[in-house]
A = this chain, B = another copy of it.
Amino acid sequence: MSNIRHALTVKREDDFAAWYQAVIAEADLAEESGVRGCMVIKPWGYGIWERIQRLLDDRIKATGHENVYFPIFIPLSNFEREAEHVEGFAKEMAVVTHHRLIGDGEGGLIPDPEAKLEEPLVVRPTSETIFGDAMARWIQSWRDLPLLTNQWANVVRWEMRTRMFLRTSEFLWQEGHTAHATAEEAKEHTLTMLEVYRAHAEEDLALPVIAGEKPENERFPGAVETWSIEAMMQDGKALQAGTSHYLGTNFSEAANIKFQDREGGEKYCHTTSWGVSTRMIGGVIMTHGDDDGLKVPPRIAPYQVVILPMLRDKPEDDALLAYCEDLRGKLITESAMGEPVRVLLDKKPGKAAAKRWNWVRKGAPIVIEVGGRDMENGVVSLLRRDELWNEETGKPAFQAPTPAQLTDEIASMLDSIQAGMFGTAQTWRNANVMSGCTSFEQLRDHYSDGKKHVGWVEVQWSKPTGQELEKVVEKLKDLKLTIRNVPMDTPAPTGSCIFTGKPAVEWIYVAKAY
């Protein structure tokens, strides 16, 4: 039993949901805004999002896409155009009905009845239809294909139950929209973007994910195929962290996106769409956080190194600051993972220990304290967030490198933190997937004996469709389970489906999910 006194008052083991909220508060990532279901993303949380944006945007551009910007408002008639879309999205949405406020004569304001819109406008929940309208204008011939676009934007889905980062009425995301000449090319592109998401999640966010196809019942409305990456949180639940859709000609037919092929014939384009959102930050928290707060992978940390001079409001402070400035100057000229090292010298007023724990809770990968004694000894006191405690003593595991040693080692230290975080998460994930489940009873037992955090189960199934699938979904729903996806590149199953008893045709992951 360790005598470590962790930085948070609530532990993952005790109340995972409360722990999640505590990390967000203590790491100062975001807070409720007072506007229903919307959050304020604070500097450290937004800084992580900026890093995610920069890295994912580079990957999206490297695969040939160009960024654009489409209106936030979508005419109501766009949603009427397709019955399928109406069934899918046209439910909880923010609807703009008026374009003016006027005084109510009593010091208050009301929507001006004279300024009612002829056609209401919907605040975009996603932009397939309005991109579709433009694609129909932009595409004439095969020469205009493929059309590869992406936008970074805010979207709104009116949510009844919200949870910060995971499900908020407004959220930030990127949405890619592409048009292709053939089904084959569009399907291939759907998988290219799925692979971009997998690489981004694993290499940038250190989130091990399973890439695979969603079952029919989990498809995006209007999609022919929906693919996802799924990550396991520390409570064993799955988080869908990104999706990529092959839309066939469904949206093309609705918006009339046609092209003249090389032979002069007119054809509908095949389209795709794919998105990743601020939800990713929820995934980072629940994968890497611990009882001391957040742990940010170095690649997406706004600052990878935070230097805390132990100032005492005395004349000696000048020398200490100079020592720290010098260290910062050396570190920022170093490169780690292909970019200059990001270093903050935090000179804000406050007690040294309080500031240290503040940065530990925020999850800065490396925290460096420098006091008078460190300076005299020509060293610094370094804490790695991923190796925070000396398990024997129960004290923080400070190292004491010289500035020169630290400068030499910073790149490999950050590499090792990034790789270690991924490795730890992957090992843990793999250990929490139950394989060898051959019956529905076994599945039920696994989840129904009151155990917490039991992870995922890998089962074989016969890929039922229609009503047969609905029965499976209902059965799983009783256990609060869902089918996550069909993992790619797995060997052909040899047994029988645990739901239907028929010969199995593929593997699926089953789990509780966010």
Residues of A within 8 A of B (CB): 31, 33-36, 38-43, 46-47, 49-50, 66-76, 79-80, 86, 90-101, 103, 107-111, 120-123, 130, 133-134, 137, 143, 149, 153-154, 156, 158, 170, 172, 348-350
Inter-subunit contact A38/B170 (CB<8 Å):
no
Given contacts A123-B123, A143-B350, 6 further A-B contacts (CB under 8 A): A47-B66, A72-B123, A95-B98, A95-B111, A97-B97, A101-B122
Residues of B within 8 A of A137 (CB): 31
Inter-subunit contact A109/B123 (CB<8 Å):
no
Q: In the docked arrangement, what's the CA distance between A154 and B155, Å?
A: 11
7 A-B pairs closest in CB distance: A38-B71, A43-B66, A41-B69, A95-B98, A99-B158, A35-B71, A95-B111
Q: In the docked arrangement, what's the CA distance between A67 and B402, Å?
A: 34
Inter-subunit contact A35/B123 (CB<8 Å):
no
Inter-subunit contact A72/B170 (CB<8 Å):
yes
CB of A221, distance to nearest CB on chain B (Å)? 14
Q: In the docked arrangement, what's the CA distance between A98 and B91, Å?
A: 11
User: What are 24 of the A-B contact pairs (CB < 8 Å)?
Assistant: A33-B133, A34-B75, A34-B133, A35-B74, A40-B68, A40-B70, A41-B69, A47-B67, A80-B107, A90-B101, A90-B109, A91-B100, A93-B99, A94-B96, A94-B99, A95-B98, A95-B101, A95-B111, A96-B96, A97-B97, A97-B111, A98-B120, A100-B158, A153-B154
Inter-subunit contact B108/A100 (CB<8 Å):
no
Among B36, B67, B149, which residue has its beta carbon within 8 angstroms of that of A50? B67
CB of A74, distance to nearest CB on chain B (Å)? 7
Given contacts A68-B43, A96-B94, A99-B94, is CB(A121)–CB(B172) below 8 Å? Answer: no
Residues of B within 8 A of A66 (CB): 43, 46-47
Residues of B within 8 A of A107 (CB): 80
CB of A248, distance to nearest CB on chain B (Å)? 23
Q: In the docked arrangement, what's the CA distance between A143 and B351, Å?
A: 12
Among B35, B68, B350, which residue has its beta carbon within 8 angstroms of that of A73? B35
Inter-subunit contact B94/A68 (CB<8 Å):
no
Inter-subunit contact B97/A93 (CB<8 Å):
no
Among B40, B149, B348, which residue has its beta carbon within 8 angstroms of that of A69? B40
Q: In the docked arrangement, what's the CA distance between A91 and B67, Å?
A: 33
Residues of B within 8 A of A99 (CB): 92-95, 158
Among B41, B170, B348, which residue has its beta carbon within 8 angstroms of that of A68? B41
Chain B residue with minimal CB distance to A160?
B99
Inter-subunit contact B79/A101 (CB<8 Å):
yes
Residues of B within 8 A of A43 (CB): 66-68, 149
CB of A455, distance to nearest CB on chain B (Å)? 33
Given contacts A94-B96, A98-B95, A133-B34, is CB(A86)–CB(B67) below 8 Å? Answer: no
Residues of B within 8 A of A31 (CB): 134, 137
